[in-house]
Structure 1
Amino acid sequence: MASILVYLSAAVLFAQSTVAFNCSRKPIYVDIHKRAVHDSPVFQYGSFIGLGTPAQNQSLWPSLAQNHTSFASHSYCSDNTTLKDCDRSTGGFFSHEASTSFVMQPNFQTQDRASNGSFSGFFGQESVRLYTHYFETEGASQTLLENSTVEVVTKGSIIPSRVGMGSSSTVLRDLAARDMIAGKTYSLYIGQGFDRAGGAVNGSNVFGGYDSGRFVGTPHMFPMKVANTNSMSVRIKDIIITDTNDRSNVSLFDNKAFTDMQAPAVSFEAQITTEQFPLSLPYQITKNFIARLQAEKDNSWGDNSLKLKNDFNGTLSIVLEDGFTVTFPPEVLMNASRITPIQDRAEDDKQPFLLGSAFLGQVYLMADYETNNFFLAEAVQKNNMVMPVSFCPKTIPVAYQRPDQSEWQRQGLIGAVIGGVIGGIGMLAALYCLWVVVMRKKDQRRLQRDLQKNQKTKMEQFDVEDAPSFDPPPSQTSKAFFWKKI
């Protein structure tokens, strides 16, 4: 019932005029993948964004909790940081002294909550360069956002280079206020090309729009809770483990499958975050997961993800309250080292339940900060075409509709027929060429025979007489006497 009321209220809201928004503005697409960054010895995964004049390029990690776009100073790794492999994990380094466009803001008050105190630094106004880079083999174009407030991080314990996409995002606010995008709308696919995910699929940010080819189906809408550090949260009503081998299903909410539960588990709210990779679920649900798959504690990645003792070929499906289901495939549920995207949780842990980047690797997220609603849809993991479109506030995103295909097209039969026809034509052409060569040789032999025959006939037409014979002169002994010398 609550879900129906939400959709009805949204329909009324979306029916209102959108004249106040310039929805003809094209979105700004910023890709996410590994690249060379300023003053780093290795390629790093993140959003392709530069800062300063001249530009110092960075790989920024998207943050749904942080509001300011932040960059690591050169002192970050030397001032008591606990970030592992700091010199090659910050997303790049920024030197404000080397930039001619940086203006210090010593009295600026942060818009991020004190609870997000994982790092600290100073603020200033700077030129932010958003690079649109559709394909890795092509060059990038630039959208220049001048005099935008940024944070230069000097101390901390986590990755400091971040695109702040919280409910009060300064970069989104500046883009919308300067009529550079349709409104304060944003879309994210985190991708799986970073080390913890262990995949190869890259991600993207779209400011003021969404990539219509990156998701399928009708997006599911949810209200934001801006009072939370992570304003986007969903209610989970079931989690199901499916064994691919025998197709058996077990609900982690089922007290019949897990006899230590007195009653079936109740639905719970979980916040969506990019601050960690694994999912943090209620203690009982986590305990059931451990029991079902024989998992054990592990901290190989420093995030307390659980590890399976044995191989498991199966999936894990998260069912949201409105029925939208997000399924983790076998290679995500258990990587090559048997590490799962489920985090261990203590019984007395009071922290919010979280759906980390592992969850965002399976869905496409679209946020409308003008109405404080967000959308989730099934992500297209391998998207060969980038199709960013404007995301006008108070509207519902629409997925790209792929052309209808006949049964022959879906099964590739047309291609097979065309290939057969082309192959047949090629074979006929080859046979024709061979026939021409043979006939040409045959004509040459016939012509040679005719020439020889004609030559013989011509010779027979001439009258050839025998040569006359002459008596030789007399020899010395047979000379007549009158020839002799007296």
Structure 2
Amino acid sequence: MASTVLYIAATVLLAQSTVAFNCSTPPIYVDIHKRAVHNSPIFQYGSFIGVGTPAQNHSLWPSLSQNHTSFAGKDYCNNSTLKDCADATGGTFITSESTSFTGNDKLQSLDSGSNFTGALAQDTLHLYTHYFETDGASQTLLENSTVEVASHGNINPGIVGMGLSSTVLQDLAAQGLIAARTYSLYIGQGFDRAGGAVNGSNTFGGYDSGRFQGDVHRYAMTTSDRNPLSVKVKDIIITNTADPSSNVSLFDTSKFPSSSAPTAFDAQLTTDQYPLSLPYQITQNFISHLGAQPDNTWGDNSLKLKNAFNGTLSIVLDDGFTVTIPPEVLMNASNITPIQDRPKDSDDAPFYLSTAFLSQVYVMMDFESFSFYLAEAVQKNNAVMPITFCPKATPVAYVRPKQSAWVSQGLIGAVIGGVLGGIGIAITAYCFWVGWARKHANRRQERELEAGQRRKLRSLQMEVEDVPEFDPPPKSATPFFWKKR
């Protein structure tokens, strides 16, 4: 009896959890690339999101730690130390131009330790789905969503907050616009610091199955941290591209005898900075091995190599998932690396696998079960394939249809090539035969004409009469009238 009750209770709970999420609701895809933004003279890289009525266009940078979606107010740059502020805020939000803007003093901030201050309000967000730059965009309206309008600070405040308590994700789920509080991100490489050309994407309530490949690795969120996505790094390996066997582990004390033995460490995933921030000893081993030195060209204390290096850096997580930073990312055209200098007495501060790391990774987050997934990113996908990300489900990468042995081994091509080649040979032979036959017929006709002409000539010759000759009679018998005169 007890087992029956437990079974019924479990069935009811399962039914309730299933009914709570309408997993037939399609996701909302929002691309990330450069575009014109409100009240700015240049194109800026970010998520294609607008605010207000009528909409003011913005490019918002995804943040895995901030919860509010925020915009720079019209006076932000007058009160900010942000470098090139007017060209780096993702656009300016002028509240007086929006008829749907509503201030609300009762709203409480969900973010602490932010590098800017502002006021919370409510307005309509425009989430633009724009699969390809050459195509037009459609929009999803998220009405009465909580936004923050920044007034003072020293960072780019144009941010779509995707932290643990993301207001945009909560509002989308509450209004039934997505199946649940799930979200996926590929940050891309199309921004100035990365110096690449690959665009990124957000997928609210889903994931892009064509943007990642290989095995998907699951991790638990650390809900006590401002950056809830945390992984354990057990090794970092540098490989010279010219010699793939030249692997050097930055954990190897035999290679770096003056260092203490490094141990596996926890690192947080973040989009708040570009360079990776690694433990001091690991950073020193990197400096020693590649001849790196401090540099602050980008204002982020990235290390710079004295000499060019064509190699990769592979980060190995404790479950075996390995993320390899390619040569063009490990060292840019100015020899600047994505590794940040680290003070000696700073190992109490968090370690970060930052935007440089995420440029090679597709990350999928399930805030309903507080878990996230990592997979190798497909840098250039030929098609966008958004799929609903139902809570507790494991994302699955798009797999191309299996090819038969004829296709995979190129036998169909060989057969088609053989058939076409045979047809070509047959056509060539036929044309040759037709030409020969025509020439042969012409020659035969010429011979027949010549023979006919000869026969006609002979016939004409036979029609001419020959005049007969008569011998004169003997003289003794010549009559008088046969007298020769």
TM-score, normalisation: structure 2: 0.84
Secondary structure of the residue aligned to 1:18 is: helix
Would the aligned equivalents of 1:18 and 1:394 in 2 still touch at CA under 8 Å?
A: no
Q: How does 1:165-314 map to 2 (within 5 A)?
A: 165-246=162-243, 247-262=245-260, 264-314=261-311
Give the direction of change, closer, same or farther, for the CA distance of 1:131–1:431 in structure 2 (3 Å limit): farther
Q: Note the C-alpha offset of 1:107.
A: 2.7
- The CA deviation string for residues 247-282 of structure 1, in whole angstroms up to 9 with x for no partner, is 2111111111111124x2111111110000000001
Would the aligned equivalents of 1:14 and 1:394 in 2 still touch at CA under 8 Å?
A: no
Tell me which amino acid in the other structure corresponds to 2:97: A
Q: What is the aligned partner in structure 1 of residue 88 from structure 2?
A: 89
Q: Note the C-alpha offset of 1:313.
A: 1.3
Q: Note the C-alpha offset of 1:106.
A: 2.2
Q: What is the aligned partner in structure 2 of residue 108 from structure 1?
A: 107
Report which stretch shifted further, 212-221 or 287-296. 212-221
2:87 is the counterpart of 1:75: no
Q: What is the aligned partner in structure 1 of residue 460 from structure 2?
A: none
Q: Distance in 1 between matches of 2:240 and 2:286?
A: 13
Question: Which residue of 399, 402, 422 maps to 1:401?
Answer: 399
The unaligned stretches of length 5 or more in structure 2 are: 1-12, 456-485
Q: What is the aligned partner in structure 2 of residue 463 from structure 1?
A: none
Q: Distance in 1 between matches of 2:409 and 2:416?
A: 13
Question: Which residue of 385, 388, 391 maps to 1:390?
Answer: 388
The unaligned stretches of length 5 or more in structure 1 are: 1-12, 458-486
TM-score, normalisation: structure 1: 0.84
Q: Distance in 2 between matches of 1:217 and 1:16?
A: 33
Q: Note the C-alpha offset of 1:426.
A: 7.1
Report which stretch shifted further, 86-95 or 442-451. 442-451
Q: Note the C-alpha offset of 1:354.
A: 0.8
Q: Distance in 2 between matches of 1:92 and 1:299?
A: 26
Q: Note the C-alpha offset of 1:288.
A: 0.4
Task: Report the structure number with the largest CA radius of gyration.
Answer: 2
Give the direction of change, closer, same or farther, for the CA distance of 1:284–1:429 in structure 2 (3 Å limit): same
- The CA deviation string for residues 86-143 of structure 1, in whole angstroms up to 9 with x for no partner, is 1111111111101111111123210012x22x11111211110101111111111111
Identity %: 67
Would the aligned equivalents of 1:39 and 1:92 in 2 still touch at CA under 8 Å?
A: yes
Tell me which amino acid in the other structure corresponds to 1:50: G
Q: What is the aligned partner in structure 2 of residue 373 from structure 1?
A: 371
Would the aligned equivalents of 1:269 and 1:353 in 2 still touch at CA under 8 Å?
A: yes
Q: Distance in 2 between matches of 1:26 and 1:299?
A: 44
Q: What is the aligned partner in structure 1 of residue 315 from structure 2?
A: 318
Q: What is the aligned partner in structure 2 of residue 335 from structure 1?
A: 332
Secondary structure of the residue aligned to 2:18 is: coil
- The CA deviation string for residues 15-48 of structure 1, in whole angstroms up to 9 with x for no partner, is 9953321100000000111111112111111101
Q: Note the C-alpha offset of 1:437.
A: 9.9
Secondary structure of the residue aligned to 2:92 is: coil
Secondary structure of the residue aligned to 1:292 is: helix
Would the aligned equivalents of 2:79 and 2:151 in 1 still touch at CA under 8 Å?
A: no
Q: Note the C-alpha offset of 1:405.
A: 3.7
Give the direction of change, closer, same or farther, for the CA distance of 1:217–1:17 in structure 2 (3 Å limit): farther
Give the direction of change, closer, same or farther, for the CA distance of 1:299–1:17 in structure 2 (3 Å limit): same
Q: Distance in 2 between matches of 1:410 and 1:154?
A: 60
Q: What is the aligned partner in structure 2 of residue 142 from structure 1?
A: 139
Give the direction of change, closer, same or farther, for the CA distance of 1:236–1:441 in structure 2 (3 Å limit): same
Q: Distance in 1 between matches of 2:145 and 2:204?
A: 15
Give the direction of change, closer, same or farther, for the CA distance of 1:240–1:438 in structure 2 (3 Å limit): same
Q: Note the C-alpha offset of 1:438.
A: 11
Q: Distance in 1 between matches of 2:440 and 2:92?
A: 79
Q: Note the C-alpha offset of 1:218.
A: 2.5
Q: What is the aligned partner in structure 1 of residue 65 from structure 2?
A: 65
Tell me which amino acid in the other structure corresponds to 1:195: D
